[in-house]
Amino acid sequence: MVAEIKKPQSQYQSGQAQVAIAERLTDPGWAWTAYKPDAHQPWNLAQAGHLYRRAAFGATWEQLQQALRDGPQRTVDKLLRPQADIVAFSRTYDEHENSAVGSAEALRAWWLRRIIQTPHPLLEKMTLFWHSHFATNGAEVNNARLMRRHVQLLRRGALDSFQSLLQGISRDPAVLIWLGADANRKAVPNENFARQLMETFTLGPGHYTEKDVREAGRAFTGWFVLRGQLRYIAREHDGNVKKILGQEGKFTGDDVVRIVLEQPAVSRVLVRKLYRWLISETEEPDLKLINPLAESFGRDYHVLRLVEKMLRSNLFFSPVAYRQRIKCPVEFALGIVKALEGTVSTTQLGQDLAALGQNLYHPPTVKGWAGGRHWINSATLVGRHNLALSLLRGSGPYADKLNPWTIAKKHGFMTAKSATSFLLELFLQGDLDSGAYDHVLKTMQARVGADSGDVEARVRRFAHTVVTLAEFHLA
Amino acid sequence: MFYTRRDFLKATLGASTLLSFAPAVPSLLVRSVMAAAPRRDDRDTVLVVVQLSGGNDSLNTVVPYGDDEYARNRPTLRLPSKKLHKINSLVGFHPRMGAFMRLYKEGYLSIVRGVGYPNSDRSHEGAMRIWHTADPSRPSRQTGWLGRAVDSIWSANETDTRAVFVGPITRPFGLNAENAIVPSIRSLRDLTTGRMPGYPNEQSAKKDTAALARVDKDNPLLDFLRCSTLNAHCNSRRIEAAARTTAQTAKYPSFQLAWSFRTIAQLIRADVGIRIFFTELGGGGIGGFDNHANQLGNHCALLQQLSESVAAFIHDLNRDKLLARVILMTFSEFGRTVKENGRRGTGHGTAAPMFLAGGKLKGGLIGPRPSLTDLDNGGLKFHTDFRRVYATVLDRWLGFESRIVLDKQFEPLDILDV
């Protein structure tokens, strides 16, 4: 069967539809209600692509087609709670990582491979989110075993309880070494962890005082990292009364975590951060939009429920979210790899992504990757262009693991012309504004059809053109 | 009337009517953009930082031959005064630094003496970290001074790369930024776009211009990416062009450092908005400046590389009338002990001079020569805090705000002719 693709309806709505949507967006009740397709916001390939970019690392053609058949909510179900045997998959990859002793480069490569292969990409997406939130730099920790455990801790908690995750972080040797909090004596209380806990991990500036930090530092006395092992030395713990965020008692580190999480500021901070990650990084959301989610998240700190609320929402499938984020380098590269159903050398990929500013296991500072427009400068754009070239050219460090022509044929697009339409659908769901769409198809198809060289080479060039369009950098 | 390239783009294409069609960015457009009047930016000055890894023995670099204490403390390492390139009756350059002597005479070189900081760290890692963070009080600080400098000038629509590390080793910590991504390159290839084999010729690419130059009112992020993609391609073409024109003319000695300088000169010539370059000599496991034993030969080789590479760089820029835009600055994590150590080497020291080279320097020796007898645990006492030199290049040369980068205002030195 030879498939053909008709020019799709653009995601760019008519002015009338935009006004209708804009009116509804001012209503938080509507914004967080589960999305049901209607005339203004129909379920289409562009929406499916959007969902897979945010909740995963891109999609295969089959996944996009299945999503069209399943509808939005059923597709979200599958992304939140996949049918596959996640436990067995995780065990296998944990074992791979455990045997990758010694080097952070090997861990980086295994993580990328895991992201490509996983039946539960949302889990990895959220692990990456927490990796930037609890940003710990492996070069400073200088212990691959501890870094492996650190990211495994993030993955265990990624969609689970933020409270348990935070408790785990407070006793994670990698984090304590990185923050210079690996020796906390009664006589010389170490404030480093307490400070980052309040400033970066939970409350944010303005919601605590220097005195709270000092007192919290005392509560964490007794904890040490000795030869890479976490140790609690009871006689080094300051058992006296502390006063933290208005509460008084003979507090320990666990008490500090509990007290901090009782502050309403925490859930607002996290909901905002997750909003930036899953919905939009272009506009600061209104407090009235954040509050309903923050209130319910603050009650149990259950991450999966929060993520679920966001992914199912009208807001998520609205223009407020659509293409309102810049892909991080991992999303950019794996968007190509996933769509073309290949597995590439992730050792090489880890290195190339580091050059684009995202060195997994090595976030630049405790603030994580700034992201957004910071990903983009002349050097990183040239780097993205060259990485895409390297992935798609069929020879060189990535060999011929990705072949757009083969994938087009696999899905029934047997001519050079239909393959180009297919690639526009696959990578961008055909969603270029209409002038650009016509232009790309007309001139590039003419070129792909007429230029010298075999069809495969021409389709490769076309694929490279598509993934270096400005649109493809948007998540 | 003057234009920056970005002004030119706005004037000719409208603020947001830019191409999204990356590989096919037409050469016609790129050429006309590149031919636009030179940058008008008030500051297009460039700082080139050269790290001498391992702790350079400054006493055998700028040699105080006229001080008897020098010969007394250096029974085997002292350099024969008749072979030195004498600056005055007290000090002279190492015999292999004839090229620095010429630069000095031409007024392109300054030597800031006695630079350091209180309670100096004597471990390589600790001391280097301090020079990188510029914050001796917070050894665990997570950003470098140059990284902070780049972050301090960030603006949401400006996408020129502002700082680059050039060299074969891991990017030094000094460039670690909280927000900006500072690339590390080995050659110009890392900053130029490659092409798929058999990519259509330029003739057909030209056609892509008009159809793809369009506005997206609804998505500023998309506009941003279209602008920055076009800008990136323009920069890439500029770099290619600069590389082509200088491949034959410039003469550099065949050292790795000289190769890095040649790359930097090409990037300066390409005028792509990079304000800070960082390169390095002595790291990467090839011995470096850390000479605890049998120092003479190795040190000779390194100083020759430094001196001849810097001189080639300065003369290359000068020939193209670019030297007035550039200042080069060297640093090392510490100097070495005045007394040699019994193994024809020296121990980790303290204060040391920093070299500055460029077309807008007052030149000469800056600050008094540190005493060889009144010492800080066997090393020279500093009189000029290194952050004053940093503040000088930040405030008075680059036009950045050193107070933001260094957390407080250090008094700049009066060493620039600007």
Q: Residue B278's pLDDT is what?
A: 98
Closest partner residue to B191 (CB to CB) among A382, A453, A458 is: A382
Q: Residue A354's pLDDT is what?
A: 97
Amino acid at B48: V
Phi, psi at A376, each rounded to 5°: -105, 120
Q: Which residue of B has its CA nearest to A180?
A: B140
How far is CA A323 from its chain centroid? 15
Question: Chain A closest CA to B234's CA: distance in Å?
Answer: 9
Q: Is A356 touching B (CB cutoff 8 A)? A: yes
Closest partner residue to A377 (CB to CB) among B142, B159, B216 is: B159
Domain boundaries, chain B: 42-198+251-406
Q: Please tell me the distance from the alpha carbon of residue B69 to that of residue B67, in angstroms, as a whole number.
A: 5
Question: Chain B closest CA to A248's CA: distance in Å?
Answer: 31
The least confident of A407-416, A426-435, B31-40, B257-266 is B31-40
Q: Please tell me the distance from the alpha carbon of residue A473 to that of residue B214, in angstroms, as a whole number.
A: 17
Q: For testing the chain B interface, which of A200, A378, A385 should be mutated: the one with the most B CBs within 10 Å?
A: A378
Q: Residue B18's pLDDT is what?
A: 36
How far is CA A196 from its chain centroid? 22
Q: Is A388 touching B (CB cutoff 8 A)? A: no
**Which chain A residues are Cβ-neighbours of B197 within 8 angstroms?**
393, 457
**Which chain A residues are Cβ-neighbours of B228 within 8 angstroms?**
376-378, 381
Residues with Cβ within 8 Å of A121's Cβ and at least 6 positions away in sequence, in order, are A55, A56, A57, A79, A115
Residues with Cβ within 8 Å of A292's Cβ and at least 6 positions away in sequence, in order, are A28, A32
Q: Residue A273's pLDDT is what?
A: 98
Closest partner residue to B23 (CB to CB) among A12, A379, A465 is: A465
Average pLDDT of the residues in B97-118: 98
Q: Is B155 touching A (CB cutoff 8 A)? A: no
Q: Residue B245's pLDDT is what?
A: 80
- With a CB-CB cutoff of 8 Å, which residues 209-238 of chain A face chain B? none
Closest partner residue to B225 (CB to CB) among A383, A460, A473 is: A473
Residues with Cβ within 8 Å of A6's Cβ and at least 6 positions away in sequence, in order, are none
The least confident of A18-27, B40-49, B181-190, B401-410 is A18-27
Whether the pLDDT of residue B14 is over 60: the answer is no
At B49-84, the pLDDT tens digits run 999 999 999 999 999 999 999 999 999 999 999 999
Q: Residue B205's pLDDT is what?
A: 44
Q: Please tell me the distance from the alpha carbon of residue B246 to that of residue B266, in angstroms, as a whole number.
A: 7
Q: Is B199 touching A (CB cutoff 8 A)? A: yes
* Cβ distance of B218 and A319 shorter than 8 Å: yes
**Which chain B residues are Cβ-neighbours of A324 within 8 angstroms?**
219, 221
Average pLDDT of the residues in B194-217: 54
Closest partner residue to B225 (CB to CB) among A383, A458, A474 is: A474
* Cβ distance of B178 and A364 shorter than 8 Å: yes
Q: Residue B266's pLDDT is what?
A: 95
Q: Report the share of chain A in percent with pLDDT over 70.
A: 93
Q: Please tell me the distance from the alpha carbon of residue A270 to that of residue A203, in angstroms, as a whole number.
A: 9
* Beta-bridge partner residues of B184: B165
At B139-148, the pLDDT tens digits run 889 999 999 9
Q: Please tell me the distance from the alpha carbon of residue A408 to that of residue A426, in angstroms, as a whole number.
A: 9
CATH number of B42-198+251-406: 3.40.720
Q: Residue B27's pLDDT is what?
A: 45
**Which chain B residues are Cβ-neighbours of A474 within 8 angstroms?**
219, 221-222, 225
Q: Please tell me the distance from the alpha carbon of residue B121 to that of residue B117, in angstroms, as a whole number.
A: 9
Evaluated on CA atoms A92, A93, A94, A96, the torsion sign reads positive
- With a CB-CB cutoff of 8 Å, which residues 285-344 of chain B face chain A? none
Average pLDDT of the residues in B2-20: 38
Q: Is B190 touching A (CB cutoff 8 A)? A: yes
Count of CB atoms situated within 10 Å of the CB of A188: 10
Q: Residue B35's pLDDT is what?
A: 47
Mean pLDDT, consecutive 10-residue stretches, chain A (475 aa), reads: 54 59 79 94 96 98 98 98 95 92 88 97 98 96 95 98 98 97 96 97 97 98 96 97 98 98 98 98 92 97 98 96 97 98 96 97 97 97 97 95 97 93 95 75 66 81 92 96
Q: Report the share of chain B in percent with pLDDT over 90.
A: 78
Give me Rg for the CA atoms of chain B.
23
Asked whether the beta carbons of A387 and A356 are under 8 A apart, the reply is yes
Whether the pLDDT of residue B42 is over 80: the answer is no
Q: Is A180 touching B (CB cutoff 8 A)? A: yes
* Cβ distance of A433 and B214 shorter than 8 Å: yes
Count of CB atoms situated within 10 Å of the CB of B119: 8
Q: Is A10 touching B (CB cutoff 8 A)? A: no
**Which chain B residues are Cβ-neighbours of A383 within 8 angstroms?**
183, 190
Q: Mapping DSSP to helix (H, G, I), strand (E, B) and coil, where does residue B91 land?
A: coil
* Cβ distance of B21 and A457 shorter than 8 Å: no
Q: Which residue of B has its CA nearest to A325?
A: B221
The least confident of A268-277, B205-214, B319-328 is B205-214
Q: Is B371 touching A (CB cutoff 8 A)? A: no
At A60-105, the pLDDT tens digits run 999 999 999 999 999 999 999 999 999 999 999 999 999 876 788 9
Q: Mapping DSSP to helix (H, G, I), strand (E, B) and coil, where does residue B321 land?
A: coil
pTM over 0.90: yes
Band (B13; pLDDT cuts 50, 70, 90): very low
* Three state DSSP letters for chain A: CCCCCCCCCCCCCCHHHHHHHHHHHCCHHHHCCECCCCCCCCCCHHHHHHHHHHHCCCCCHHHHHHHHHHCHHHHHHHHHCCCCCHHHHHHHHHHHHHHCCCCHHHHHHHHHHHHHHCCCHHHHHHHHHHHHHCCCCHHHHCCHHHHHHHHHHHHHHCCCEHHHHHHHHHCCHHHHHHCCCCECCCCCCCCHHHHHHHHHHCCCCCCCCHHHHHHHHHHCCCEEEECCEEEECHHHCCCCCEEECCEEECCCHHHHHHHHHCCHHHHHHHHHHHHHHHCCCCCCCCHHHHHHHHHHHHHHCEHHHHHHHHHHECCCCCCCCCCCCECCHHHHHHHHHHHCCCCCCHHHHHHHHHHCCCCCCCCCCCCCCCCHHHHCCHHHHHHHHHHHHHHHCCCCCCCCCCCHHHHHHHCCCCCHHHHHHHHHHHHHCCCCCHHHHHHHHHHHHHHHHHCCCCHHHHHHHHHHHHHCCHHHHEC
Question: Chain B closest CA to A180's CA: distance in Å?
Answer: 7
Q: Residue A19's pLDDT is what?
A: 67
Stretch (H or E) spanning B110: strand B109-116
Residues with Cβ within 8 Å of B297's Cβ and at least 6 positions away in sequence, in order, are none
Query: In terms of Cα–Cα distance, which of B342, B413, B318 is closest to B107?
Result: B318
* Cβ distance of A379 and B191 shorter than 8 Å: yes
**Which chain B residues are Cβ-neighbours of A279 within 8 angstroms?**
none
Q: Which residue of B has its CA nearest to A179?
A: B140
**Which chain B residues are Cβ-neighbours of A470 within 8 angstroms?**
20, 22, 222, 225-226, 229
Q: Is A370 touching B (CB cutoff 8 A)? A: yes
Q: ipTM of the assembly?
A: 0.93
Structure tokens at A237: 């713990």
Query: In terms of Cα–Cα distance, which of A334, A316, A250 is closest to A279?
Result: A316
Band (B202; pLDDT cuts 50, 70, 90): very low
Q: Residue B139's pLDDT is what?
A: 83
Q: Which residue of B has its CA nearest to A443?
A: B208
Per this entry, what is the length of chain B?
Answer: 418
Q: What is the largest CA-CA distance in chain A?
A: 82
Q: Residue A432's pLDDT is what?
A: 85
Q: Residue B407's pLDDT is what?
A: 97
Q: Is A466 touching B (CB cutoff 8 A)? A: no
For Cα atoms B406, B412, B417, give the angle at the middle one, nearest 5 degrees: 130
Query: In terms of Cα–Cα distance, which of A345, A281, A390 is closest to B156?
Result: A281
At B272-302, the pLDDT tens digits run 999 999 999 998 766 799 999 999 999 999 9
Q: Is A439 touching B (CB cutoff 8 A)? A: yes
Q: How many helices (H) and strands (E) does chain B have?
A: 13, 14
How far is CA A314 from its chain centroid? 20
Q: Residue A438's pLDDT is what?
A: 74
Q: What is the largest CA-CA distance in chain B?
A: 78
Q: Residue A4's pLDDT is what?
A: 61
* Cβ distance of A461 and B198 shorter than 8 Å: yes
Q: Which residue of A has its CA nearest to B151?
A: A374
Angle in degrees, 0-180, between the axes of helices A416-428 and A329-339, rounded to the nearest 10: 140
Question: Chain A closest CA to B32's CA: distance in Å?
Answer: 19
Phi, psi at A230, each rounded to 5°: -75, 135
Q: Residue A200's pLDDT is what?
A: 97
Q: Please tell me the distance from the alpha carbon of residue A112 to that of residue A360, in angstroms, as a whole number.
A: 9
Q: Residue A204's pLDDT is what?
A: 96
* Cβ distance of A380 and B200 shorter than 8 Å: no
Query: Would you give the DSSP letter of residue B111?
Result: E
Q: Please tell me the distance from the alpha carbon of residue B217 to that of residue B28, in angstroms, as a whole number.
A: 26
- With a CB-CB cutoff of 8 Å, which residues 216-255 of chain B face chain A? 216, 218-222, 224-226, 228-229, 231-232, 235-236
For Cα atoms B207, B211, B215, give the angle at the middle one, nearest 5 degrees: 145
Q: Please tell me the distance from the alpha carbon of residue A46 to that of residue A376, in angstroms, as a whole number.
A: 24
Closest partner residue to A381 (CB to CB) among B176, B177, B232 is: B232
